[in-house]
Amino acid sequence: MPSAIVILAAILLVSTTRTVHADAVTPKRAVELERLIRHDCGSCHGMSLKGGLGPDLSSRKFNGTPPPAIAAVILDGIPGTAMPPWRPLLSEAEAHWIAAYLAKGSAP
Ligand code: HEC
């Protein structure tokens, strides 16, 4: 019954992709992440995220950039630049939440 296997694989795929989505972030944690974006990211990217030492992170900048690509930069940083990896401080779900936040310009 190969079709059952395909269906099972599809269900697994959907459930694993869901775990990296924003729904893993609680409302309380979302408030903390918004503060982190303003304070920690803002210390380099500017208080309004429009650029400072680091480039503009406002939603206009990410128009069309897929959030998973933004999340990868947040988790691993950009080697050889001042952009640090946030993996020690943020879970994958939190990085994806921040990426969605930056892409939309507000909490997802
Ligand atoms: C110590 C300074 C610093 C901090 C803190 C910092 N960044 Fe960065 N970030 C940079 C620099 C510098 C670059 C540009 C690196 C380069 O030259 O490509 C960058 C690049 C980026 C990029 C890629 C931008 C693009 O145009 O592709 C993203 C996304 C990003 N940062 C997100 C964040 C987020 C989210 C945070 C907070 C969790 C953060 N950064 C905190 C310095 C910082």
| Domains of the chain (ranges, CATH numbers) | 2-104 (1.10.760.10)
Is residue 32 predicted with pLDDT exceeding 70? yes
Mean pLDDT of 33-48: 95
Residues contacting ligand 1 via CB (< 6 Å): 40-41, 43-45, 53-55, 57, 70, 73-74, 78, 81-84, 86, 98
- Where does the pLDDT of residue 60 fall: very low under 50, low under 70, confident under 90, or very high at 90 and above? confident
Mean pLDDT of 67-96: 97
Nearest to 105 by CA among 21, 52, 46, 37: 37
Mean pLDDT (the chain, rounded): 85
Percent of the chain scoring above 70 in pLDDT: 79
Lowest average pLDDT, out of 12-21, 22-31, 54-63, 85-94, goes to 12-21
pLDDT at position 3 over 70? no
Label residue 18 exposed, middle or buried (CB < 10 Å: 0-12, 13-18, 19+): exposed
Residue of the nearest CA to atom 36 in ligand 1?
41
Amino acid 23: pLDDT: 63
Residue 10 has pLDDT above 70, yes or no: no
CA of 57 to the centre of ligand 1 (A): 8
- Rounded mean pLDDT, 11-17: 46
Contact 74, 86 (CB under 8 A): yes
